[in-house]
Amino acid sequence: MTAPTVISTFAGCGGSSLGYKLAGFRELLAVEWDDNAVETFKLNFPDVPVYHGDIAKLTGAECMKLAGIRPGELDVFDGSPPCQGFSTAGKRKFDDPRNSLFREFARLLRELQPKAFVMENVTGMVKGYMKQAYLTIIAELRACGYRCKGEVLNAMYFNVPQSRERVIIIGVRNDLGVEPTHPKPQTKPVTVREAFAGVGDNDAPPLTERYAAYWHAAGQGGVVGKLNQVRRLSLSEIAGTLVKAEGNGAPYHPTECRAISTNERKRIASYPDCFMFTSRESATERIGNSVPPNLMRAIAEHVREHILHA
């Protein structure tokens, strides 16, 4: 059987791409503008073509030429448009210019006309007054010729050792006559103890005296500091959502007076131990911004079996 195909936009370091690969998809093209994200992606996916640039400058014709396809041939069009303007961690401004990037996704969707699409975003877009942004997005995606459905999925039920809720919008081209659906929870939550079993080397630098004091004061599972500077993990609990920087809500080791290592961060995010990053700092940012691979694997497998093969 021929492998289903996917194009990934806002690809980052490849969290979604890895999920699709594990689900048996063949990636035809990745689209990303950040230099370090592209460098990291190429380290791990050397055989996948990359459009390194602004998605607003990528035409549908060029996208299809790079991927070697014609309109309607692609199986899945994937994307996680930058979502800081919707994030509950920020001020959630409806008119934040970063929120308009979904229109670039919709523009290419309209031109490529894949059988299905998957779009991931933060839960902030469906909360409070920001729900108008979500409804605008759904309306525009439907206008591209798709039946659409969004659901909030928590990665911790899909073999990801992290409580991370995200809105997943799945669309199916109207002519296929298939209603979009989402995967049901598949696994029990994985504790920090289970996630860290046999983890490799520690690259976390020593804590400053101030942060060491925070760590001791927090206790396992506790948070200390006006800005939640130290959020100490608990071995018996699930890790919280990984952020893209150290401090201010970032997780710290449950039993050792230090931040978590890159290897531990990979475990929490469901990246394999062999996945390569260019530095500790870049790994922190790349993973914090990415879709957990195992979550996307579950979504991709569901799309393959219940939509593409329906």
Marked catalytic residue, from 83, 144, 148, 274:
83
Instruction: Specify whether the CB–CB gap between 48 and 58 falls below 8 A.
Output: no
* Distance, CA of 223 to CA of 217 (rounded, Å): 8
* Distance, CA of 63 to CA of 253 (rounded, Å): 43
Sign, CA dihedral 139-144-147-151, equals negative
* Distance, CA of 223 to CA of 57 (rounded, Å): 44
Residues with Cβ < 8 Å from 252, sequence gap 6 or more?
Answer: 215, 218, 230, 231, 232, 233, 258, 259, 260
User: Parallel, antiparallel, or unpaired: how do β-strands 5-9 and 26-32 relate?
Assistant: parallel
Instruction: Specify whether the CB–CB gap between 52 and 36 falls below 8 A.
Output: no
Residue of 122, 291, 260 whose CA lies nearest to 195: 260
Q: Is 83 a catalytic residue?
A: yes
- The Cα diameter of the chain in Å comes to 63
Q: Which residues are catalytic?
A: 83
